């Protein structure tokens, strides 16, 4: 499982500039000139961990003497999962010395996400831009633009399938996430039916139909279902966006239309609570299994009530922290890859693996969340 961050962020130490041009602009000057170069970076107060970001505001972390700035555009702002990633990146920025900007759309929109990335790339003070992609390929032209401007482009949570993407910080292997969700579903249905070979219909409700990570997981879910649970029949997949209300509506429709429905997988953090509410409202608690990928804060009520037995995730705060640490190391190395095969990251207890052929850092295996650890706070 992913480990939580250790200790409070320490004092930030200044590093070198992220882009070669910025380095040359300050090299050979005295302290006064160095201060002038550093002060060109934006500075504002850091929001508290409980602050809900707005689509038009940016958050910055660390002192005004930081020499580089990185930004992150999530699929959408305002949901607990991405707020947790924001907190982790803010912690990394404070600890390792950087400015951090967090902004994005209020809906999981491919075009709106691209608009935010475009604006960030037009800002000469931004040295790195990252995303949790709403589409695997829609941002490729912007990835290429970042390359031409010597801006590091990175992805975390949901990858971009573009040749010039500089870094992918993966939460867990997609196969592990997809396989585990299906295994939990099968075990829950088997327990409900008191059988070792569960049968019946199962449904998958996802968020965005083009989201890279969600579609990868679904592909492995289909394979695992066919291999391990051939008597479970997968119904047509439906998409609720990042809306618990729409997830509830779709789940209610499934329950009314398919009397042999035995279980659901919610693929995004916002899908699972909506599904759970539909099952509860239908009086099917303990009769229809509910699992998927979500965080403990979002699903705690339903786990405590017994509607949901267990779900799959990782620590999104730690994921954000790892992404922030990684991009700062690359900026200090002028866009290089200063990673080892296995890395010790200050503040993360478990070792972090580096896969150079994919330019990927891996947080670790997925985590099962149930009553034993539902009080985790992320």
pLDDT at 66: 62
Residues in the chain: 378
Q: Residue 107 to residues 87, 208, 267, 268, 313: CA-CA distances in angstroms?
A: 20, 10, 17, 14, 22
Q: How far apart (Å, rounded) are the C-alpha atoms in residues 117 and 128? A: 11
pLDDT at 40: 35
85: pLDDT strictly greater than 80? yes
Give the tens place of pLDDT for each residue, 272-328. Answer: 999 999 999 999 999 999 999 999 999 999 999 999 999 999 999 999 999 999 999
Candidates 354, 316, 16, 20; CA nearest to 167 is 354
Q: What pLDDT shows up at residue 67?
A: 86
Class of domain 174-313: alpha beta
The torsion defined by the Cα of 324, 325, 327 and 333, in degrees rounded to 10, comes to: 160
Cβ within 8 Å of residue 80, ≥6 positions away: 269, 295, 297, 298
Q: What is the mean pLDDT of residues 31-52?
A: 33
Q: What is the pLDDT of residue 5?
A: 57
> Is the whole model's pTM more than 0.85, yes or no?
no
Domain 20-171+315-364 sits in CATH at: 3.40.50.2300
pLDDT at residue 205 is higher than 50: yes
Hey, which residues does 137 pair with through a beta bridge?
none
The yes-or-no verdict on residue 31 having pLDDT over 60 is no
Asked if 274 contacts 246 with a C-beta cutoff of 8 angstroms, the reply is: yes
End-to-end CA distance of the chain: 14
Average pLDDT, rounded, for the chain: 87
Q: Do domains 20-171+315-364 and 174-313 have the same CATH topology?
A: yes
Using only the alpha carbons of the chain, give its radius of gyration: 22
**What is the pLDDT averaged over residues 38-42?**
34
Give domain limits for the chain. Answer: 20-171+315-364, 174-313
Q: Is the pLDDT of residue 363 over 60?
A: yes
* pLDDT band per the 50, 70, 90 thresholds, residue 55: very low
pLDDT one-digit tens code per residue, 239-274: 999 999 999 999 999 999 999 999 999 999 999 999
Q: Which residues contact 207 (CB under 8 A, 6 or more apart)?
A: 75, 108, 214, 239, 240, 241, 242, 267, 268, 270, 271
pLDDT > 90 fraction of the chain, expressed in percent and rounded: 82
Confidence check: pLDDT of 25 > 50 = no
% of the chain surpassing 70 pLDDT: 83
Place of tokens 């042999």: 260
């Amino acid at each position: 499982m992913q480990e939580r961050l250790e200790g409070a962020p320490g004092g930030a130490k200044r590093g070198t500039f992220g882009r070669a041009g910025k380095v040359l602009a300050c090299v050979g000057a005295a302290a006064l000139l160095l201060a002038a170069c550093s002060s060109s970076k934006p500075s504002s107060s850091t929001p508290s961990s409980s602050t809900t970001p707005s689509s038009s505001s940016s958050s910055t972390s660390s002192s005004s003497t930081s020499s580089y700035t990185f930004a992150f555009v999530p699929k959408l702002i305002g949901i607990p999962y991405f707020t947790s990633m924001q907190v982790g990146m803010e912690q990394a920025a404070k600890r390792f010395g950087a400015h951090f900007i967090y902004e994005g759309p209020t809906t999981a929109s491919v075009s709106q996400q691209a608009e935010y990335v475009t604006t960030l790339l037009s800002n000469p003070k931004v040295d790195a831009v990252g995303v949790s992609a709403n589409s695997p390929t829609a941002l490729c032209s912007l990835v290429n633009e970042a390359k031409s401007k010597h801006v590091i482009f990175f992805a975390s949570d949901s990858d971009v399938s573009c040749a010039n993407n500089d870094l992918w910080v993966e939460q867990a292997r997609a196969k592990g996430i997809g396989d585990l969700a299906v295994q939990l579903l099968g075990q829950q249905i088997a327990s409900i039916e008191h059988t070792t070979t569960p049968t019946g219909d199962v449904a998958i409700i996802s968020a965005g139909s083009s989201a890279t990570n969600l579609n990868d997981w679904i592909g492995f879910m289909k394979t695992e279902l066919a291999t391990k649970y051939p008597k479970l029949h997968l119904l047509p997949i439906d998409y609720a966006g990042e809306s618990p209300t729409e997830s509830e509506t779709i789940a209610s429709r499934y329950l009314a239309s398919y009397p042999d429905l035995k279980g659901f997988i919610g693929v995004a953090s916002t899908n699972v609570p909506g599904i759970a509410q539909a099952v509860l409202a239908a009086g099917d608690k303990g009769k229809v299994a509910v699992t998927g990928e979500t965080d403990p804060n979002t699903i705690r009520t339903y786990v405590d009530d017994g509607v949901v037995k267990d779900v799959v995730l990782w620590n999104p705060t730690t994921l954000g922290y790892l992404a922030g640490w990684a991009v700062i190391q690359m900026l200090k190395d002028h866009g290089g890859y200063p990673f080892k095969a296995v890395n010790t990251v200050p503040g993360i207890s478990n070792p972090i693996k580096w896969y150079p052929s994919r330019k990927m850092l891996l947080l670790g295996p997925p985590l099962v969340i149930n009553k034993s650890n539902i009080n985790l706070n992320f």
